[in-house]
Amino acid sequence: MRHPEFGYPRMTDWLRDQGHCVNHKRVARLMQRMGLQAITPGPHTSKPAPGHKVYPYLLRGVEIERVNQAWGTDITYIPMQHGFMYLSAVIDWYSRYVLSWELSNSLENIFCIAALKRALEQATPEIFNTDQGSQFTSEAFTGILLDKQVALSMDGRGRALDNVFIERFWWTLKYEDVYPTAYSDGHALYRGLDAYFRYYNCERKHSALDKQTPAEVFMRGSVKKEDHKEL
């Protein structure tokens, strides 16, 4: 967990530096048996489903200027001592505020829907962006947004930059919390993530936000929007 970027070649070099006489084939075989792998490419969390409707990407070249203009969601894997847990989060693109998150030990779409519903209890976005994974193209997921007249946007296949804000957030989360902590089980992971999300939203200042926290920017922007509606 201290070196999540190590695949079997770099792990072989490291072990040799420690005085162990091993070859790369043995290291690769043992890492596979132990379920160890480098952080990239990682398990595939988004797989398309034949027959599900895919919506076009709406945010190419669009300048994000306000809170609730665009939200994004994604799934990432969290490596554990034995296997993986899966994390879904909804983030406001403008403020980088994490509106909601849910953990699961499977890739069924239930936890993604739960995260979406919790986020929508706080506000409603103009555009909601996802990838083309089956969790997000299912009618159970898209129907919730369509009922609220939210425009659906989906990344182009293989274009991680189409959802760049949440991709950057995953990197921050893993390197600041998940990898240094090396959670032992799902209960510890949940408690740790709960504390980290509170810290990230309410204490961690962003240079891109003029040294403000995501919560400060999101709350201020939401209040201005409500005031404008009343006028």
Residue 50, preceding peptide bond in cis (omega within 30° of 0): no
Q: How many domains are contained in the chain?
A: 2
10 and 115 inside one domain: no
Distance between CA atoms of residues 90 and 166, nearest Å? 8
100 and 190 inside one domain: yes
Confidence of residue 231 (pLDDT cuts 50, 70, 90): very low
- Contact call for residues 10 and 22 (beta carbons, < 8 A): no
Task: Give the pLDDT score at 43.
Answer: 60
75 and 14 inside one domain: no
pTM: 0.78
pLDDT(29) > 90: no
Task: Give the pLDDT score at 96.
Answer: 96
Q: What is the pLDDT of residues 45-68, one digit of tens each?
A: 666 667 789 999 999 989 999 999
Average pLDDT over every residue of 160-189: 87
Residue 2 domain boundaries: 1-38
Task: Give the pLDDT score at 159.
Answer: 56
Confidence of residue 230 (pLDDT cuts 50, 70, 90): very low
Q: Going by C-beta distance under 8 Å and a sequence separation of 6 or more, which residues neighbour residue 196?
A: 173, 176, 177
Indicate the burial class of 26 (C-beta count within 10 angstroms; 0-12, 13-18, 19 or more): middle
